[in-house]
Amino acid sequence: MKKFTLLKCLLVMQAFFFMACEPEPMVLFPEATPVAHNFLIDSNGDYFEDFENVSKTSYAGANVTFNDGEWYFEDALIGGLSGDSKNGAKSVRMRYNGVITMGYDLPDGIKTVSLRYAKYNRDSQTSFELYYSTDAGATWTKGGDEIHVKKTNLETANFSINVQGNVRLEIRKTDGKSDRLNIDDIIVQSNPITETETLVNITEDYESGSKRSYAAGIVSLPSGDWYLEEALIGSLDNDRKTGLKSVRIRDYGILQMNYDVVGATSVSLSHALYGTDGSSSWELQASTDGGVNWSKIGNTVSTSSTILETINFSVNYSENVRFRLLKLSGSGDRINIDDFVIGGTQDTESDTGGGTAEEPIQFGEVHLTMGNPSNALTDITIPNNYLLKKEEYVMSYSRDKGTANWVSWHLDESWRGNASRQNDFREDNTLPSSWYKVNETDYRYSGFDRGHLCPSADRTISVEANSNTFFMTNMMPQAPNNNRNVWASLESYCRSLLSEGYELYIISGGYGVGGDGSEGYAEYIANGKVTVPSNTWKVIMVLPVGDDDVNRVTTNTQVIAVDIPNSQNVSSDWTQYSTSVDDIEILTGNDFFNLVPDHIEDVIEDNIYIL
């Protein structure tokens, strides 16, 4: 009854406003005081738009006036033809890189968004993304995964946004093709700020931390765990600090929160040059998905003073968020960072600063969606099953073998872009400092290739992502004919599945001792520091693109497994080496896809893939 009463009141108010005055003209991105609107609501009290009571018959860019405000349409129109998929008489039709943008804010935030979508008529499949803005359209944040549109019947997409305050929406067609798309029935569940939420500031002054080397590592601090790469806690005379310590960052270093806070309205920090070093540039970034994706905040900052200066960033987050600082100039000049303050976070009894509540999602977790095959841990006391996580892949590393036991990675179109092959083979300084780090020259003159486990071509979304496949921890000694022919052929086949609407979970490695390279048989290279495997193997799960991946695996899900001799005398046809996942498990001692229910796992791992 309460929601019904609210609906009646809003409808009466809407009618009153329509009779009392003419609507004021709207600008697309208002900078003045927000204009009040008479929002349409459904029977649940949620904002909705069904596009029924408007008209736009051309694709030319223009504002479209709705009852509750204006939307801007570019390469989009209101369609009412028989080929338009719709619930009612009309829906939005978009083509090329079409976009529809709300020109006004919803004042009570957004918890969730649902909308209906379909292909137009007989057009080919297409795609779109949802974005939201909390600063009147000045900047936009992606609100979930890209949606692939394959059917002519309306389907429903749901997005979890969880922002409070003023917010507006935008829908972007993403493939740039002439194939058209219909959008209908947008429903927004509000997310109002409750009176019980008390906002506090969280300050980290780095006084209680200790880290004396630039090697990548985790530092436990009162606010939570921080990840430092090419960075340390400095206390020398040349370190600029307000107390006894501050963070010192060199080259392309990172200072990153490894925990979330609940909401934020501001970030401030102090920065200065270390000693007499030259100027350096850096930027602040934020992540709302546990460190998987990051977005830049504000402008790039240049540090040029030897006296600590405070810089303030205005932000507007109501959901879980974490921050990091990336140094952008790698000339060797160093900077100090101190007194990192996050303003306007929610004060809760269970979590006063992060790091003590629910275990945060670490970057790289997507690559372990189907399980951790050897239960590897990031524990220096387990040197031959050491869990090493990158954003691009995750591995179990063996200190004694000098190679990974396995490397696991997720592959879909989002990992692919236009970045070129970097070829910057290098040692991995994220390994414990006391371990030998295989370097780029250790394979030289051995007769074996530096063979990628996670391929370079699987990570072309950015230069950084591609570069990170060239750590020597991601290499194993491969016979050239193995690496360049049969192995490359399977890698190419995997990437070809992406254009057919699939995503893949891939795990790769080697087993045994001794291979046949271009210089003959060898069991070890690099003066015994790197073991040459006798065989190379790979297991691959193939899923249609979608969400909730573990729960979508069925007994019909295709898996590929290969066991290939590490030899010059191999065929280029990878299918000749097909086997079952069960057989690879016996040979390696791993348990693949162990998060899939057992009755399904038992079936798919027993099958042998036939092309």
Answer yes or no: are the C-beta atoms of 256 and 291 closer than 8 Å.
Answer: yes
Mean pLDDT, the chain, rounded, equals: 87
Whether 328 is in a domain gets the answer: yes
Residue 322 falls inside a structural domain: yes
Are both 179 and 214 inside the same structural domain? no
pLDDT digits (tens, 9 = 90+) for 135-180: 889 899 999 889 999 999 999 999 988 888 889 999 999 999 999 9
Output the pLDDT for position 318. 84
Give the pLDDT confidence of 509-528 residue by residue, as tens digits. 999 999 999 999 999 999 99
162 & 203 share domain: no
Tell me which of 189, 214, 241 is where a domain ends: 189
Contact 526, 438 (CB under 8 A): yes
d(C-alpha 141, C-alpha 295), whole Å? 8
Residue 299: which CATH number?
2.60.120.260
Same domain for 169 and 227, yes or no, is no
- Residue 164's nearest CA partner among 357, 346, 322 is 346
Structure confidence at residue 461 as a pLDDT band (50, 70, 90): confident
Total H helices, total E strands in the chain:
6, 32
- Cα–chain-centroid distance for residue 256? 15
Query: What distance in Å separates the CA atoms of residue 299 and residue 396, rounded to the nearest whole number?
Result: 38
Active-site positions read 452
Contact partners, residue 441, CB within 8 Å, separation at least 6:
none
Q: Are residues 87 and 142 in the same domain?
A: yes
Domain range enclosing 338: 199-346
- pLDDT tens across 72-111, in order? 999 999 999 999 999 999 999 999 999 999 998 888 889 8
Q: Write phi, then psi, for 220 (nearest 5 degrees).
A: -90, 125
- Among the candidates 319, 346, 373, a domain finishes at 346
Please state, for a pLDDT cut of 90, what percent of the chain lies above it.
Answer: 69
Tell me the pLDDT band of 211, cut-offs 50, 70 and 90.
confident
Q: Do 155 and 293 fall into the same domain?
A: no
| Residue 121: pLDDT band with limits 50, 70, 90 | very high
Q: What are phi and psi of 106, to 5 degrees?
A: -90, 120
417 shares its domain with 509 = yes
Residue 437 lies in a domain: yes
129, 109, 131, 127: which is closest to 118 by C-alpha?
Answer: 127
Q: How far apart are CA 86 and CA 95, in angstroms?
A: 16
452 contacts 482 by C-beta, under 8 angstroms: no
Whether residues 325 and 419 share a domain: the answer is: no
Do 126 and 208 have their domain in common? Answer: no
For 531, the token pair is 């073991």
Q: What is the pLDDT of residue 40?
A: 65
DSSP 608: B
Measured between alpha carbons, how far apart are the two ends of the chain, in Å?
59
Same domain, 494 and 581: yes
Reply yes or no on whether the pLDDT at 350 is more than 80.
Answer: no
Query: What residues have CB less than 8 Å from 15, skipping those under 6 apart?
Result: none
For residue 385, is it within any domain?
no
Domain boundary among 346, 379, 401: 346
Do 507 and 438 reside in the same domain of the chain? yes
365 within some domain:
no
Residues 153 and 277 in one domain: no
pLDDT class for 360, splitting at 50, 70, 90?
A: very low
Residue 532 domain-assigned? yes
| Domain count along the chain | 3
Each residue's pLDDT tens digit, 25-68: 333 433 333 333 445 666 567 888 999 989 999 999 999 988 77
For residues 565-577, average pLDDT: 97
Residue 588: CATH number of its domain: 3.40.570.10
Contact between 539 and 592 (Cβ < 8 Å): yes
Asked whether residue 392 is assigned to any structural domain, the reply reads: no
219 within domain boundaries: yes
- Check: CB of residue 445 under 8 Å from CB of residue 467: no
Distance between CA 409 and CA 97 in Å, rounded?
Answer: 30
Q: From CA 209, how far away is CA 438, in angstroms rounded?
A: 30
Q: Do residues 211 and 174 share a domain?
A: no
Q: Which contiguous run of DSSP H or E holds residue 581?
A: helix 581-588
68 contact partners, CB below 8 Å, separation of at least 6: 37, 38, 39, 40, 47, 49, 104
Give the Cα separation of 57 and 50 in Å (integer): 17
- pLDDT band, residue 214 (cuts 50/70/90): confident
Structure token pair of residue 363: 């970057």
What's the pLDDT band for 249 if we cut at 50, 70, 90? very high
Instruction: Return phi, psi of residue 554, to 5°.
Output: -125, 175
